[in-house]
Structure 1
Amino acid sequence: MKMHYYLKAKTFFLEDGIKNNGFVEIKDGLFGNYVEKIENKSIDILDVGDCIVAPGLFDTHIHGISGSDVMDNTPESIQTISKNILKYGVTRFLPTTLTSSFDKLNQVVSTIYEVHKQGEIGAKIEGIFLEGPYFTKKHKGAQNSAYFKDPSINELNTWIEQSGGLIRKIALAPERKGALQFIKEVTNKGIYVALGHTDADYETCIQAIENGASIFVHLFNGMRGFHHREPGVVGAALSSENTFVELICDGEHVHPVAVNITIKNKGYDKICLVTDCMRAGLMPDGHYFLGEFEVHVKNGIAKTTSGSLAGSTLKLIDGIKNIYNWTNLSLLQCWHMGSLNPAKSIGLDDKVGSIAPNKKADFVVLNDQLEVLKVAIEGVIKYEKKFQKCNQTM
């Protein structure tokens, strides 16, 4: 197919609302305008019939899937993640590291960079998320506290160099020595700082935000909770207007009531749905490893031997379905929590995350049950389900 065509569908999830029975132009890998009619009868048309066309999803916090993990430090594992998340509508992602040694993280970010240079076979890498190692023990979760330390700008500069400048986001505990100055320096480099695996009090979190921190990692998990006399990390997250929060909506990490409380306080446009998926995603129950920790997966729930949740096996599209069922939000709003909002949270919403003119033409074709039938990256179909359930023509 030529790289100038119109996409025809029953329903479009556009950035500014839902439109029905129209066309969206795609030219040179970018979205053009939505139109109700096409005057030029000679133009190529991809007609997906009675389907929904939605923007590609963006997972900004994912460790692995299909038996592979970012910390395997192999190109094959990164490509396995890229290939398999594409099948479920994810077109962009941030490979996410775990707390480890300085040298191991050097190797991992270098490997991710090499994969990105050579080209991903599925979803595209839009940066690296360093989850750690600047955390504290009390809320360590499945992070290895043996590697916890105070923030070092020299270490980060090395990781930036080794990654070819791919570091996009880093999570830390703001109570660590030197953290506030570190946050200020890091944000000045264009890297987004998230707060997580922390026992910081409310005031420390607010100071971190004033110095540039703008995201809270998997809200309610791995952090000091809310108390009426000390609002804690959760209180800072829910009361700060200009910060984003991650939510893992698998039904285990966060109760639906807590999800609704978050929406009422933050507004849906400040919530980023993430998976925090580990290598057991799309795999049977059993024993796995998350970093250096043994993890047991039962009924799709991943836990360490001590009983802590160890990431998830969630597919991002299932998180969208869950939050739609738990709330009064529209499906468009829920979808944008997995596409546009994650892009906004790391400053990429001018390029990806929604169907709007001059953005990269990443889109997902869905049936009414939200099954993924086709996925395109920059206008090129990269995945197509063998058995179609919509009336469509090429």
Structure 2
Amino acid sequence: MKPLDLQVNGYAGTDFNRDDLTAEALHHACHCLREDGCDAILATFITDDVATLERRMSTLVRLREKDPLAQEVIAGIHIEGPFINPEKGYVGAHPPQCVKPANLEDTKRLLDAAGGLTKIITLAPEHDENFHVTEFLSSNGVTVSAGHCNPSLEQLRAATEHGLSMFTHVGNGCPMLMHRHDNIIHRALALRDRLWLCFIPDGVHIDFFALINYLRSAGLEKTIFVTDAISAARLGPGNYTLAGWDIKIGEDLVARSPDGSHFVGSTVTIPRILSNGQQSLGLTKAELELLLDTNPRKAVGL
């Protein structure tokens, strides 16, 4: 098994979303990822102003070009935002003041800064007017994923007709209180035949009993497991950062916002996902290989 993790914000003390990312820190993260059995990742950048995102991605691209291990481990970039839903609950840990509607000008700036490495862009379909950005990205080989969003079922279905093909961390990036039936989780599950559905299987972002229900509904053929790891992954309790957020990791290893109102990424690792998958979700090794290796590579063409 060669896991490809489609959503990694940082690892082992390294935050990809920092302005002062160093060659040493990047190499260390890649070394630790390989040591923990992760073959490759998409380095993930979350919402900020476009100029800051450009600067941070350009730095990672430049450092990666000089490091053979980083070139192997960082298979691409996942840009999560800034074209998401700014409403409380849906925006999650993303700074709402930096959220903006999808537009082609900023999209092209971000793609240029990522140096041809962009594999996924997560956006809110309801904030992509006439799905122009979705169509542009999909026609240029970028996987477009819905996330931190609240489109109607009709909007979500229409977006798939313009190239949307994935849903980022289903069950997260949404409010704690929603309509019991007509909510974004059920809408995503309703389109399981059109969308790759990504889940964070840490038992925190989704209780294992609920995730089992989701997996039964979605089926494993179009399901993907991701870590959504931040710099605290692999390290244990302490104080960490993600794109300027001060994050405290308690004994339960859960990454929470300073006020404790919501999660800020995850500290789960591939070894823990393998353990969770077998012990708490009842998955076989072959099924875990499908969710961590085969399906992610199909979804982004790697």
Q: What TM-score, normalized by structure 1, do the two folds share?
A: 0.70
SS of structure 1 residue aligned to 2:46: coil
Q: 2:254 aligns with which of 297, 301, 313?
A: 301
The partner residue of 2:27 within 58, 79, 82 is 79
Based on CA coordinates, which of the two structures has the bigger radius of gyration? 1
Label 1:328 to 1:229 Cα distance change in 2 as closer, same or farther (>3 A): closer
Provide the C-alpha distance between the structure 2 equivalents of 1:220 and 1:284, rounded to a whole number of angstroms. 25
Equivalent-residue separation in structure 1 for 2:91 and 2:230 (angstroms):
16
Confirm whether residue 252 of structure 1 aligns to residue 204 of structure 2: yes
- 1:181 aligns with 132
Deviation at 1:338, TM superposition (A): 1.1
Structure 1 unaligned regions, length at least 5:
1-54, 349-394
SS in 1 for 2:69: coil
Return the alpha-carbon distance in structure 2 between the equivalents of residues 81 and 156 of structure 1.
28
Letter in 2 for 1:109: M
User: What SS class does the counterpart of residue 90 from structure 1 fall into?
Assistant: coil
Q: 1:333 to 1:177 in 2, by over 3 A?
A: closer
The list of structure 1 runs, each at least 4 consecutive aligned residues, that deviate by more than 4 angstroms after superposition, is 224-229
- Matched residues in 2 for 1:229 and 1:128: separation? 34
Query: CA separation in 1, counterparts of 2:128 and 2:42?
Result: 27
Q: Quote the offset at 1:229 in angstroms.
A: 5.1
1:93 maps to which residue?
A: 41
- Give the one of 83, 98, 103 matched to 1:134: 83
- How far did 1:314 drift? 0.6
One of 186, 190, 203 as aligned partner of 1:239: 190
Q: Distance in 1 between matches of 2:247 and 2:181?
A: 36
Aligned pairs for 1:1-394 (under 5 A) are 55-73=1-19, 74-76=21-23, 77-121=25-69, 123-136=72-85, 137-138=87-88, 139-178=90-129, 180-223=131-174, 227=179, 230=182, 232-240=183-191, 241-299=193-251, 300-307=253-260, 308-348=262-302
Partner deviation per Cα, 1:79-135 (whole Å, 9 max, x = no partner): 222111111111111000011111111112212222332234355211100011111
Cα distance between partner residues in 1 of 2:285 and 2:202: 17
Which runs of no fewer than 5 residues in structure 2 stay unpaired? none
Distance in 2 (CA, whole Å) between partners of 1:179 and 1:315 is 38
**Superposed CA offset, 1:139-171 (max 9, x none):** 111111110001121212122222221111000
**C-alpha contact 1:172 1:193 (8 A) present in aligned 2:** yes
Opposite residue 297 of structure 2, the aligned amino acid is A
Cα distance in 2, alignment partners of residues 68 and 330 from structure 1? 32
How many residue pairs were aligned?
A: 293
Which residue in the other structure is 1:378 paired with?
Answer: none
Given that 1:202 and 1:235 are in contact with CA atoms closer than 8 Å, whether structure 2 keeps it comes out as no
Change (3 A) 1:177 1:218: closer
User: Structure 1 residues 62, 179: CA separation in 2 closer, same or farther (over 3 Å shift)?
Assistant: farther
Q: What SS is found at the alignment partner of 2:109?
A: helix
Q: Which has a greater percent of helix?
A: 2
Q: CA RMSD in A?
A: 1.8
Greater strand content: 1
TM-score (norm 2): 0.91
Contact (CA 8 Å) 1:183, 1:193: kept in 2 or not?
A: yes
